[in-house]
Structure 1
Amino acid sequence: MFTGNMVTEAIPARVFSLYKIVTSKKEIARNEVQSLMEPSEIYEGSSYFSSIIKAAIELKIVDIQDNIVVPLVPKEEMKNIEDFRLYAISKINSFEAEQFFKVTNCIVNINERIYKHTLTDTALLNELSRETGTQITAPMIRGWRFWAQFLGFGYMNNMSFLPNAYVFVKNVLRLMNLEKNKEYEIDDFMLMFDAYGKIISGNLAKERNMNIALSSALRELHDNKEIELKYRSDAEKRWILYPSVEQFNDQIASIVYKGVKK
């Protein structure tokens, strides 16, 4: 899923379920995990298990040692699906050279043009293939959409993608360990952000123009008083939000971290 081709089978809920099974046992073999996830008496059809465990291994939440599936993250640190989301986001930058990372970066930087397409439109698939240098097919993008929504790059309406990375950015802010009520110059903030959030911001530094997904997220955080976006006319370096008719449009000189809400 995160290395090689994207797949539809390894959805977030299945990967987390695998982790919960493994952490509920003192020791469990690979075939035992599979039998619990795909009981032979009720399961019919093609097995999804190989894709699911591959994604779990890629994210480094489990490993296989002598055919035993072992957890790599203590269960006390990943109690629920929200903990899993935060952990997965912390690992995303390690896949920068992979298809999932490249497709995500391309889609969020299409900006408003994404509204003209469903994710499986031939024109969009051709553009993604051209931009990423790999053949992107409809099944691959269907697999991408589950993780895109889970990680918080935007929202899905059937096969349409609505770019607003509020959930993703909120979790990145948690990982950044920012000091509450401290003001960060925008270049410093973006450098810290890239340590975890480069998948949506990686192509922006040269122009200092934020894409619609990141801009929508920052505006929502600002409106929620989780951060404060600040404009200063004398600031030497400023970043530009993607234009909005109704919301904050000033160039950003700095950001005050107020504390993200649960």
Structure 2
Amino acid sequence: MADRIDESWGSQMPNQRVVLPLSDAARASLLAVRAAQEAARDRARRQTKRTRAWLGGIAGGIAVGLLVFGPRVGGHDAPAKAVSSSKLPESAPVAVVAVEAAPQSAPAASPSAEAVVLNAPDTPESSDAPDAPDALPDAAPGDDACSASFGQRRWRLSIEACTQAFQAQPKNAALALRIAHAHHARSRLAEAADWANRAIALDPRLPEAFVIVAHAHTRAGNPAGAVEAYRRYLVLAPRGWHATEARAAMRAHLREKHARMHPTTPNTPRTTAVSVAAAD
């Protein structure tokens, strides 16, 4: 009977695993092992979190320390040392253009006049405060009629009143310049130049007087005298109201003078004319 039971049991469950019952002691030991494993995993996770937090705090402290104390570590002269230790690039070479010299037979213009024209700024009125037009010095007390008529631009009356005041004060350069200006406003340039020269003789530091003299020379057909008067004006007022006018007149005179000395012909090279244009 036992043989039959064993055979039938083996034939019915050939692939099934037999689970044997555990004792209470074995079950308790397995539970203890599993609890120990879970506790170890928890400790590992907590340790990892603490390590990451610790490393993050150290990194943040280092960053703050560099921001706050970084410049003090190298000292205040650290940027200067870095700049001085680095090799600066060399500047680009300056191009030098050779200019053909003018013939020795051609006399140059007046050095003082040419220096004023070529070395001074071309647009003086655009920079600084220019001298106002008709800016004349104040005359001495006692010329109320002269000052009133001059301020009202009543030129005929101004000439009479200022002339009377000048007779009482013959060394008053301001009165002489007002008379010159009144004559100039009436287009009487010869009389204006006469009074302007009187004012210059009394006080050579009156730029408006030289402008009046230059206008008189221009009308009289004396460009050389006009250029000299303009030059003296620019010496006194290089950024004055008439500075552009003075430089333009001087440049035109220099061009005409050079053209007369070097007339262009079909066989004459134009290098000198180009040189003048470049210098101008």
Please give the TM-score of this superposition, normalised by the length of structure 1: 0.23
TM-score (norm 2): 0.22
Higher relative contact order (CA 8 A, sep 6+): 1
Could you say which structure has the higher helix fraction? 2
> Rg bigger for which structure?
2
